């Protein structure tokens, strides 16, 4: 199947999941908040959050399991760069009160000015970091 069709299907499924979360649970599908809550919330709030995170993992594993010739991509960066990047993303989601799933998918679709600004900030910071790391410092 063409990669564009796969991406369109994946995007559609993400949209359906966000609508279902809002309709059934009355909550935004912000993955960083859901993951944090899975670790910190009381037991009655923890179960649905853990199931959501497990569903994301299983959903990502299904295409890999169904593919006959799947080859994992070769990382372009060292383990240290990946770890530092992950920690910085985690710090950024805390500072930005959310991540791209909460702000970029759910917030923009609700025309939230705060989410629009946050998403533009995430994207600009990402563009700048990639440019600096690849073209100025030659790390990636």
pLDDT in tens, 79-120: 898 898 888 888 888 887 888 788 888 888 889 999 999 899
80 is in which domain, residue-wise? 3-136
Answer yes or no: is pLDDT of 75 > 80: no
| Helix (H) or strand (E) segment spanning residue 61 | helix 43-66
Number of structural domains (the chain) is 1
pLDDT in tens, 30-73: 888 898 899 999 988 899 999 999 998 998 888 888 888 888 78
CB 116 within 8 A of CB 107: yes
| Helix (H) or strand (E) segment spanning residue 88 | helix 79-95
């Amino acid at each position: 199947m063409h990669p564009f069709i796969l991406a369109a299907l994946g995007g559609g499924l993400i949209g359906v999941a966000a609508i279902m979360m809002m309709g059934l649970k009355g909550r935004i599908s912000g993955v960083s908040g859901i993951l944090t809550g899975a670790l910190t919330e009381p037991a009655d709030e923890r179960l649905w959050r853990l199931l959501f995170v497990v569903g994301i993992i299983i959903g990502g594993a299904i295409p890999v399991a169904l593919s006959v010739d799947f080859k994992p991509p070769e990382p372009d960066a060292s383990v240290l760069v990946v770890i530092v990047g992950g920690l910085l993303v985690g710090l950024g989601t805390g500072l930005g009160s959310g991540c791209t799933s909460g702000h970029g998918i759910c917030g923009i679709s609700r025309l939230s000015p705060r989410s629009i600004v946050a998403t533009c900030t995430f994207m600009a910071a990402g563009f700048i970091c990639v440019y600096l790391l690849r073209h100025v410092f030659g790390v990636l």
